[in-house]
Structure 1
């Protein structure tokens, strides 16, 4: 079981990832924020949160990208850059793996539900349906 002190140290590392997700991050830098060695941090992070720091970073970046693809009029390359990826190919592959569809198709499907261009369709469809639909897209 993780002690309260260890959890605070882990949360410092997790917060560092969340605050700097758009920048290149190394395991060493993240572990320093938690005052742990990189390998110990990796092991404890995985045991505590059920995912590695890199998996957490990818999930966070994809969630941010999903929001940007729905609400912003940036092209996929710009979204890719804003969430911290240099390679559009890497971003698209990770997005496809996480969401189950390419970023462009994701945007097209959600925008097709809206009557207002470039905005999340909250007024066009009931919120419970939108959340249900988004949940299915995420799985």
Structure 2
């Protein structure tokens, strides 16, 4: 009997899902929706959503919004753009939705983050961590526990 991991259809789907994820990473500023993403890899929208969540632990929409919020955090830290300009620069079409998702993922509204980027990460101790690990543990994540904001993560191999 063939295991699921070695199933040719499963491997093909994983390849297609990686293409979808890579497209979202590249084209996050574009108006992307699940039907358009699914059409690009010749899948139904429902199949793409189910397979994407199984492979990556979150829906395509959540993944895309997390990428957009990550880019927004960087733009807001620079301080050169207003919150509205950042919202549109990262591909969001609604300032209200952007602000709600930003607050949900980061723990503070974008205007507060722009004025004090350290406010959101105050509860996460990154002292002594390499920058690549500090970035990983302060990455915005959607909380499954109902709590919003940046959650403390333990680096790989840590306690």
TM range, smaller chain? 0.7 to 0.9
Please list every run of 5 or more consecutive structure 1 residues that lacks an aligned counterpart in the other structure.
113-125
Aligned residue pairs, count: 125
Q: Which ranges of 4 or more aligned residues in structure 1 deviate by more than 3 Å?
A: 126-132
TM-score by structure 1 length?
0.78
For the structure 1 residues 51 and 73, does the alpha-carbon distance in structure 2 shift closer, same or farther, using more than 3 Å as the test? Answer: same
Alignment of 1:105-116 (within 5 A): 105-110=112-117
TM-score by structure 2 length?
0.69
Alignment of 1:1-139 (within 5 A): 1-2=4-5, 3-110=10-117, 128=129, 131=134, 135=138, 138-139=150-151
Structure with more helix by fraction = 1
For the structure 1 residues 12 and 84, does the alpha-carbon distance in structure 2 shift closer, same or farther, using more than 3 Å as the test? Answer: same
Determine if contact 1:45/1:53 at 8 Å carries over to the other structure.
Answer: yes
For residues 127 and 81 of structure 1, the distance between their equivalents in structure 2, rounded to whole angstroms, comes to: 35
Determine if contact 2:38/2:48 at 8 Å carries over to the other structure.
Answer: yes
For the structure 1 residues 7 and 129, does the alpha-carbon distance in structure 2 shift closer, same or farther, using more than 3 Å as the test? Answer: closer
